[in-house]
Structure 1
Amino acid sequence: MRNISDIIEQHLKRIIQESPNGSVEIQRSELADLFQCVPSQINYVINTRFTVEKGYIVESKRGGGGYIRIRKVKIVSKARLQELLTEELIGESISQGVGHAIVDRLLEEGLINNREAALMKIATSRNVLTVEAEIRDRLRANILKQMIAAILLR
């Protein structure tokens, strides 16, 4: 059985997908009431499931008429995606969690298949890159950049 975070995530993704502008504007308390959970559960889902690495931009306005807006970032071109991923998101060093989130985004966008995603995650996991953390994160960044370049240039 899926947990409440998965259900909330799927609900928001469905709304975003059905939206003509690829976004959803919600009030945290209303969503919490809908799913009969605490508002902090909504925060958790938004902060962990709708990140830049996963292709989303989250904006919020606090106060009485406050809202949370989640937008799906559209891929303009493979070249722009490669630039965004390798230069802006990956940089010189990247953690395993962020690296795997980027791989998940490539899979979700249909740019790689399940097998390629699994191979990318294994090749960049801390179980394979058994060196000290600083070197591991730099090595992971280099490996991911090369893999992304190879995928997007095919």
Structure 2
Amino acid sequence: MRNISDLIEHHLKQMLDGSDEGAVEIQRNDLADRFSCVPSQINYVISTRFTLEKGYMVESKRGGGGYIRIQRVDLPALKNLQYHIERTIGDSVDQSAAEGLIYQLHEAGMITVRESNLLRAAIHRDTIALVLPMRDEIRARLLRAMLISLLAK
């Protein structure tokens, strides 16, 4: 069975899919009531699963009538994708940012689940068993080369 965080994430993604503008506004307490959880659980899901690296922009307004707005950020058009990859990866990339980019490409349907899993395995800190900052530099080179090769199909 899926855990509560997975259920909340799935629900929010369904809401985003059903939205014409690719954004939803929610009230944290209402969502917490719906899932019978504490509001901090909603914060946790949003802060860990709806990040910019994963293709989402989150804005919140506090106080009475406050809300949390989640908006999907689309990947650039294919002709600009190489530039986006270069800009995101740069000369050095940490594991979290690299995995976020892989997630974003998978969510956009640009790479398969298998390709996503292979990329994550290749760039994992246990695979690239070097000291920092060399590990992040090697990760950037590997990821850039593999993505350019995959996306040139």
Asked if Structure 1 and Structure 2 have the same fold, meaning a TM-score greater than 0.5 normalized by the shorter chain, the answer is yes
CA distance in 2, matches of 1:2, 1:10: 10
Aligned residue number for residue 103 of structure 2: 104
CA distance in 1, matches of 2:9, 2:79: 29
5 Å-filtered alignment, 1:5-154, equals 5-87=5-87, 89-154=88-153
CA distance in 1, matches of 2:68, 2:84: 24
The alignment yields a C-alpha RMSD, in angstroms, of 1.5
AA partner of residue 107 (structure 1): H
CA distance in 2, matches of 1:123, 1:75: 23
**Identity across aligned pairs (percent)?**
50
- Displacement of 1:137 after TM fit? 1.1
Conserved 8 A contact 1:32-1:42 = yes
Conserved 8 A contact 2:76-2:84 = no
Conserved 8 A contact 2:60-2:68 = yes
Give structure 2 stretches of 5+ with no counterpart: none
CA distance in 2, matches of 1:85, 1:48: 22
Conserved 8 A contact 1:104-1:117 = yes
- Displacement of 1:129 after TM fit? 0.6
Larger displacement relative to structure 2 (48-57 or 112-121): 112-121
- Displacement of 1:128 after TM fit? 1.5
CA distance in 2, matches of 1:91, 1:45: 28
CA distance in 1, matches of 2:125, 2:27: 38
SS of structure 2 residue aligned to 1:133: coil
TM-score normalised to the size of structure 2? 0.92
Larger displacement relative to structure 2 (16-25 or 114-123): 114-123
Larger displacement relative to structure 2 (139-148 or 18-27): 139-148
CA distance in 2, matches of 1:76, 1:84: 7
CA distance in 1, matches of 2:36, 2:112: 35
TM-score normalised to the size of structure 1? 0.91
- Displacement of 1:125 after TM fit? 1.1
User: Aligned pairs, how many?
Assistant: 153
Deviations 1:35-54 (A, max 9, x none): 11111111110011001111
Larger displacement relative to structure 2 (21-30 or 119-128): 119-128
CA distance in 2, matches of 1:55, 1:152: 18
Runs of 4+ in 1 over 6 A off after TM superposition: none
